[in-house]
A and B are shown apart, each in its own frame.
Chain A
Amino acid sequence: MITIADQLLVLVLLINFISLGTSRLMFSIRAVAAQGVILGILPGLIHPFSWHLVGITAGIIAIKGFIIPLLLNRAVRSAEIKREVEPFLGYVPTLLLGALFTALSFGFASKLPLLPEHQHYMFVPASIATLMAGFLILTTRRKAISQVIGYLVLENGIFIFGLLLADAMPIMVEAGALLDLLVGTFVMGIVINHISREFSSLDTSRLTSLKEE
């Protein structure tokens, strides 16, 4: 089962590169949704069966795979914006940076004092690489929606690390964190709507009236 988990994690890493390299927002949202579904399947592969697990799996797939992408899709449609234009850093440089970070995270993870049973699997490097990809998207894109996508990828990276500690995290806390993510995205979706109405664009680089002279 663990080998399947590792292969799924490779898929997660590939999806990072899709979000890093595409300018089409809809495509990016779908990629993050796919990542969410994979994250929902992962706990089932590494932990023994329990109802707790079933609940978490269903919750993650429903929220990360369907509800959040739906909210973002609605925001994209009502803002009538299809593409990220002129990011602060071009697609090729961000892809290269993403590749660099991924390589570094593999090197870094091999140095961490991990448990022997976690040493040979990809959870930790995949988690760090996804986190860094999220940061890259957050900092290099102009559109508000791209930034939300970056935030979601970052959260996914944290989540992968969380898979290693299912016992320490009670279900209430996991559910609470998931709910916070959902409501947070919902509020961000509303704000995006208002940004597009107010500025007739989703370009966050126009959000510059509040600056220190």
Chain B
Amino acid sequence: MLAALIFLPLIGALATWLIRSDHLRPMVLSLFALGHLGITFLLLIDTPPESLGGWFHLDALGKIVLLSTSILFLFCAVYSIGYLAYRQERSNRVLCVGLLICLSAASMVTITHHLGLMWVALETTTISMAPLIYFNRNARSIEATWKYLLICSVGVALALIGLYFLAYATIVAKVEPSLLLDDLMRDAGQLSSGWVHAAFVFLLVGFGSKMGLAPLHTWKPDAYGEAPGLVGAMLAGGLVNLAFLALLRVYQLCLATQEIAFFQNALVVMGLISMLFAAVFMARQADFKRMLAYSSVEHVGIMAVALGIGGKAIFGALFHILANGLTKGVLFLSSGNIHRSYNSKSTDHVRGALRRLPWSGGLFLAGFIAITGAPPFAPFISEFTIVSSAFIQGRMLVGALFLISLAIIFIGMALTVLPMVMGDIPEESEKTSYRDSFLTVGPPLVLLLLVFLLGVWIPQPLMDLLREGAALLEVPK
């Protein structure tokens, strides 16, 4: 079953490569996405034991990330049928193949417990997404692709140094050299502390830049701004979570060594810096897709802070993986529709979206309300858990800064979003052929319903999964 999870998308990639019709390809993409989600659910119900000497092991953390990635991917795939019908000026072959290769590599990241293999898969997701950011083939998108490719590649290369240091720590400690998570955790007490310490710094910087934690986020606004909506959704709701999973693995290792306090402090500081950065740049943002990128910087910051605080906040962080991933799907897909309809992503031109596109405009507005942490949506639950945990643990300053940034971000985002969706359509606005249709509105709508549903009721199996995951990350007393 685990093998099917990896190979099904690869077969899909081959199939979409061979298909000649631009019309048929997104449908095949959706079919494989559906298959992948099916396998994911089967694996969640009946989880196989670890295999190949601990190389592959789908644990609770992996399951949460796999579930959110697979759900988001399916909706993006279905959306692509409608969306790509408007983009017939160029072939969508690379887009579909790249998405499926990325899905395969993403599944690999979630099921492996070998840190080296996880690194390879993570780097594969980075590279496979690069051509997709360049889908629009203009000067701006190539600039974004170049920055993304170079910064993420160098970042992930730094993470590789971190892994090498970890491996060297095992050699110095004269234990069996290995990069298997379980072996490392077992031998953690004996590892050479200098090397382990250095390794954690490099891993944090490396995976942090892939995740887009400030101040390593500089590629993010460009890449998210220039990529098509559905690619942006996969980047902000999928790839970010994979990098976060990598950080969770490092966190697990830190728990086993004596380095956890240092790592937690670093996470809190980087997380708060990300949130403050986002708060500053979100205000008066004239490009609504770039605004969403800063929102993504904010939310990786939230997850990092939660991980750094520990305790109850861990549950919030894990729930936020799902909540943020799905809400980003709503925002990016509906913003893609608005972009198509106005043929512009500048807030000077895009006004009155609720009149022109009642569905997409409404979804964008609802997504904005959800992502800023308003009840009754899912991000409210996770953010509330995190902030209350901060105060319960007596981290007053962290909690206060957290709340202040959330408030500034809410105001800053509202200043961009409200004029966009309300108001009158400018008279000189370009007329385009885009109309809201079932296939372009349905996926973000269902995603929004899911976000709403998770906000009012968490199903028991999911609750158990989240608790099981949080237990893996608990700081031993």
Residues of A within 8 A of B (CB): 112-115, 131, 138, 144, 147, 151, 154-155, 158, 161-162, 164-165, 167-170, 172-173, 176-177, 179-180, 183-184, 187-188, 190-191, 194-195, 198-199, 204, 207-210, 212
User: Are B143 and A177 in contact (CB-based, < 8 A)?
Assistant: no
Mark out the residues of chain B between 433 and 449 whose CB falls within 8 Å of any chain A CB in the assembled complex.
Answer: none
Mark out the residues of chain B between 129 and 163 whose CB falls within 8 Å of any chain A CB in the assembled complex.
Answer: 130-131, 134, 137-140, 142-147, 149-150, 153-154, 157, 160-161
User: Are B172 and A187 in contact (CB-based, < 8 A)?
Assistant: no
- Write the nearest CB–CB distance from A187 to chain B, whole angstroms: 5
* Given contact pairs A113-B195, A180-B127, A188 touches B149 in the complex (Cβ within 8 A): yes
Known: A161-B168, A168-B177, A210-B222. 5 other contacts (CB 8 A): A151-B157, A161-B164, A173-B114, A184-B153, A199-B139
Q: Does B59 touch A at the CB level, under 8 Å?
A: no
- Most chain B CB within a 10 A radius of its CB, from A144, A167, A199: A167
User: Are A212 and B153 in contact (CB-based, < 8 A)?
Assistant: no
With both beta carbons as reference points, the residue of chain B lying nearest to A172 in the complex is identified as B117
- Write the nearest CB–CB distance from A126 to chain B, whole angstroms: 14
Which residues of the other chain, B, contact A165 by a CB distance below 8 angstroms? 164, 167-168, 171, 177
User: Are A209 and B178 in contact (CB-based, < 8 A)?
Assistant: no
Among the 9-residue stretches B118-126, B404-412, B461-469, the one with 4 or more Cβ atoms under 8 Å from chain A is: B118-126
User: Are B171 and A210 in contact (CB-based, < 8 A)?
Assistant: no
Q: How far is the CA of A151 from the CA of B158 in the complex (A)?
A: 11
- Most chain B CB within a 10 A radius of its CB, from A169, A177, A180, A208: A180
Q: How far is the CA of A170 from the CA of B167 in the complex (A)?
A: 12
Query: Which single member of A158, A198, A204 contacts B160 (CB below 8 Å)?
Result: A158
Q: Does B221 touch A at the CB level, under 8 Å?
A: yes
Which residues of the other chain, A, contact B134 by a CB distance below 8 angstroms? 191, 194
Mark out the residues of chain B between 155 and 199 whose CB falls within 8 Å of any chain A CB in the assembled complex.
Answer: 157, 160-161, 164, 167-168, 170-172, 177-179, 192, 194-195
User: Are A158 and B124 in contact (CB-based, < 8 A)?
Assistant: no
Which residues of the other chain, A, contact B157 by a CB distance below 8 angstroms? 151, 154-155, 158
User: Are B281 and A212 in contact (CB-based, < 8 A)?
Assistant: yes
Which residues of the other chain, B, contact A209 by a CB distance below 8 angstroms? 139-140, 143
How many positions in chain B have a CB within 8 Å of any CB in the partner chain?
A: 45
User: Are A113 and B120 in contact (CB-based, < 8 A)?
Assistant: no
User: Are B142 and A151 in contact (CB-based, < 8 A)?
Assistant: no
Which residues of the other chain, B, contact A199 by a CB distance below 8 angstroms? 139
User: Are B120 and A176 in contact (CB-based, < 8 A)?
Assistant: yes
Q: How far is the CA of A168 from the CA of B184 in the complex (A)?
A: 11
User: Are A195 and B142 in contact (CB-based, < 8 A)?
Assistant: yes
Query: Which single member of B131, B140, B167, B178 contacts A187 (CB below 8 Å)?
Result: B131
With both beta carbons as reference points, the residue of chain B lying nearest to A179 in the complex is identified as B120
User: Are B172 and A184 in contact (CB-based, < 8 A)?
Assistant: no
Q: Does B237 touch A at the CB level, under 8 Å?
A: no
User: Are B146 and A191 in contact (CB-based, < 8 A)?
Assistant: yes
* Given contact pairs A168-B171, A198-B139, A187 touches B130 in the complex (Cβ within 8 A): yes
Q: How far is the CA of A204 from the CA of B150 in the complex (A)?
A: 12
Q: How far is the CA of A96 from the CA of B172 in the complex (A)?
A: 34
* Given contact pairs A184-B127, A198-B142, A199-B139, A191 touches B149 in the complex (Cβ within 8 A): yes
User: Are B123 and A180 in contact (CB-based, < 8 A)?
Assistant: yes
> Which 10 A/B pairs are nearest by Cβ-Cβ distance?
A176-B120, A173-B116, A168-B177, A168-B167, A207-B143, A180-B123, A210-B222, A165-B167, A167-B177, A198-B139
User: Are B221 and A115 in contact (CB-based, < 8 A)?
Assistant: no
- Write the nearest CB–CB distance from A127 to chain B, whole angstroms: 9
* Given contact pairs A113-B192, A168-B178, A187-B131, A162 touches B164 in the complex (Cβ within 8 A): yes
User: Are B167 and A176 in contact (CB-based, < 8 A)?
Assistant: no
* Given contact pairs A113-B194, A165-B171, A180-B123, A158 touches B144 in the complex (Cβ within 8 A): no
- Write the nearest CB–CB distance from B55 to chain A, whole angstroms: 9
* Given contact pairs A147-B150, A209-B140, A177 touches B161 in the complex (Cβ within 8 A): no
User: Are A210 and B143 in contact (CB-based, < 8 A)?
Assistant: yes
Which residues of the other chain, B, contact A162 by a CB distance below 8 angstroms? 164
Q: Does B298 touch A at the CB level, under 8 Å?
A: no
Can you list 19 contacts pairing A with B, beta carbon distance less than 8 Å?
A112-B194, A113-B194, A113-B195, A115-B172, A151-B150, A151-B157, A154-B157, A164-B171, A165-B171, A167-B171, A170-B114, A173-B120, A176-B116, A177-B123, A180-B127, A184-B127, A191-B145, A191-B149, A210-B140
With both beta carbons as reference points, the residue of chain B lying nearest to A124 in the complex is identified as B168
Q: Does B226 touch A at the CB level, under 8 Å?
A: yes
- Write the nearest CB–CB distance from A75 to chain B, whole angstroms: 13
User: Are B160 and A184 in contact (CB-based, < 8 A)?
Assistant: no
- Write the nearest CB–CB distance from B90 to chain A, whole angstroms: 13
User: Are B143 and A144 in contact (CB-based, < 8 A)?
Assistant: no
User: Are A138 and B154 in contact (CB-based, < 8 A)?
Assistant: yes
